[in-house]
């Protein structure tokens, strides 16, 4: 009698080592890292092109629109171009063509990444059958199941749409559908004064459109340093944006020729169209999470640990679908870190603590580190160094005089604790300070900016000016 051999552990064959749902920054970061680690990877994307919401509806198009409007403002305000010339006017549709061109370049670039790294790119709607099996509904109506040892959920987020607002009406938009705006409004109401609402307020006002910005809170972008928030409020107000703080809508009345927003305070506002930009929801509703043993919270977001692992051991999640910080830059890094953790459970990689924030209003705002309020509440003895852009030669040359740079540093150790910038190219300028803040073993001090020679004239010189200003305050 021959004794049969049985394995204590059943080894299951999978179609892939990892399936990634979504091709935004988080999905791409995970896919590229896993491919470099010699894993067999597939990405599933419901849209007909890769890139996710970041490329097609969010970060890239809005920043491309902002760039065009910013250059238009610069052209019209520069005496060199405006002498004896009529101010140039553009419509929202005019600048959309530039955004479309940028999107296609990004799609081509990112598609090449997947091709070169031999990552299978599957178009279709994904949903869980179980923790290792994904059902793919193809555009032609057919379905197929694919299996993987591990899964990454990188489905991003979408604009929140309250049920009592009719988003099918041609005069009511969210931050995705606004890109399909096919008329030239003279007056826009923007409900929600977060990052997206503030950015679009700048864009529309730069096109000479009347803008009413409804803020549900008591000040703009309250997570920012108060001076930066106040600077944005003043600049929007000075450019003609009407801001209403502490307001909430009761109902939206949309007709053939206008939109009327009825506020709970009793006020009424009327405009050509409404852009609703108040909150976002994780894209998890169609994933059939329950089949995999997962459940999203009320905002459609998933809970993860420090390795971006969900409550189900083999399923990870990155990007907007897990909430804070909801930044494209952070999502890409989260994807890479999650990929490393999936392969090596002892991986210690983490996101940096001081993640830079870039807000692409006109002018830009960027910050890294702590605010004055946070330092005051923590009773940390700090000092402030400031540089006004209007005093910099490069700003005078380029006629970008609005803005400032502020450095917060410890009075005793001179360690840099936070940097906040308002003005043209703020999101670029901030990285110089960020690089110094990341230095270890005493390398992070404000004195670096005084002891280092900067190119002249440059906007980076603001760091030297602010550092001298701050050190002169010490006694």
Residue 441 CB partners (closer than 8 Å, separation 6+)? none
Q: Would you say 50 is a known binding-site residue?
A: yes
Q: Would you say 385 is a known binding-site residue?
A: no
**Region of residue 308 (left: phi > 0; alpha: psi -120 to 50; beta: else):** left
Q: Would you say 51 is a known binding-site residue?
A: yes
DSSP 274: E
Answer whether 204's CB lies under 8 Å from 69's CB.
no
Q: Would you say 49 is a known binding-site residue?
A: yes
Q: Which two tokens stand for residue 28?
A: 């791409």
Residue 274 half-sphere exposure toward CB, CA atoms < 13 A: 28
103/51 Cα distance (integer angstroms): 9
Answer whether 240's CB lies under 8 Å from 210's CB.
yes
Question: Which three-class secondary structure state does DSSP give residue 17?
Answer: strand
Residue spans of beta strands (DSSP E) within 24-82: 41-45
DSSP lists the bridge partners of residue 317 as 153
Q: Would you say 54 is a known binding-site residue?
A: yes
355/290 Cα distance (integer angstroms): 33
Q: Would you say 434 is a known binding-site residue?
A: no
Q: Would you say 235 is a known binding-site residue?
A: no
Q: In which element (H, E) is residue 98 found?
A: helix 92-116
Q: Would you say 45 is a known binding-site residue?
A: yes
Annotated binding-site residues for FAD read 45-54
Binding-site annotation: residue ranges: 45-54
């Amino acid at each position: 009698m021959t004794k049969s051999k049985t394995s204590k552990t059943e080894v299951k064959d999978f179609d892939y080592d990892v399936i990634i749902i979504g091709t935004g920054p988080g999905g791409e970061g995970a896919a590229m890292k896993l491919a470099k680690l010699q894993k067999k990877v597939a990405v599933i994307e419901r849209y007909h092109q890769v890139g996710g919401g970041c490329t097609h509806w969010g970060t890239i198009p809005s920043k491309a629109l902002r760039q065009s409007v910013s250059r238009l403002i610069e052209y019209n305000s520069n005496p060199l171009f405006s002498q004896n010339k009529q101010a140039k006017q553009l419509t929202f549709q005019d600048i959309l063509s530039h955004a479309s061109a940028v999107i296609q370049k990004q799609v081509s670039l990112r598609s090449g990444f997947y091709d070169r790294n031999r990552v299978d790119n599957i178009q279709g709607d994904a949903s869980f059958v179980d923790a290792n099996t994904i059902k793919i509904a193809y555009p032609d109506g057919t379905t197929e199941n694919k299996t993987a040892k591990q899964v990454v959920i990188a489905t991003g987020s979408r604009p929140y749409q309250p049920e009592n607002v009719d988003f099918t009406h041609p005069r009511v938009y969210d931050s995705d559908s606004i890109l399909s705006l096919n008329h030239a409004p003279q007056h826009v109401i923007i409900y929600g004064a977060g990052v997206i609402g503030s950015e679009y307020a700048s864009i529309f006002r730069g096109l000479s459109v009347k803008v009413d910005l409804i803020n549900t809170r008591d000040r703009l972008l309250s997570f920012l340093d108060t001076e930066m928030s106040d600077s944005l409020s003043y600049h929007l107000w000075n450019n003609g944006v009407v801001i209403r703080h502490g307001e909430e809508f009761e109902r939206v009345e949309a007709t053939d020729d206008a939109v009327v927003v009825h506020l709970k305070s009793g006020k009424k506002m009327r405009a050509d169209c409404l852009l609703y930009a108040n909150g976002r929801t994780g894209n998890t509703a169609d994933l059939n999470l329950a089949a995999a043993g997962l459940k999203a919270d009320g905002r459609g977001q998933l809970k993860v640990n420090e390795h971006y692992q969900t409550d189900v051991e083999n399923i990870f999640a990155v990007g907007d679908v897990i909430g804070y910080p909801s930044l494209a830059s952070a999502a890409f890094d989260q994807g890479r870190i999650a990929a490393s953790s999936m392969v090596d459970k002892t991986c210690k990689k983490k996101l940096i603590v001081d993640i830079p924030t870039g807000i692409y209003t006109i002018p830009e705002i960027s910050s890294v580190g702590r605010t004055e309020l946070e330092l005051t509440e923590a009773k940390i003895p700090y000092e402030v160094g400031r540089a006004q852009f209007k005093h910099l030669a490069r700003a005078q040359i380029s006629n970008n005089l609005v803005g400032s740079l502020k450095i917060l540093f410890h009075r005793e150790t001179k360690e840099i604790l936070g940097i906040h910038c308002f003005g043209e190219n703020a999101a670029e300028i901030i990285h110089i300070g960020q690089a110094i803040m990341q230095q270890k073993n005493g390398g992070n001090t404000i004195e670096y900016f005084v002891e280092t020679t900067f190119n002249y004239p440059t906007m980076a010189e603001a760091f030297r000016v602010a550092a001298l200003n701050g050190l002169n305050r010490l006694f």
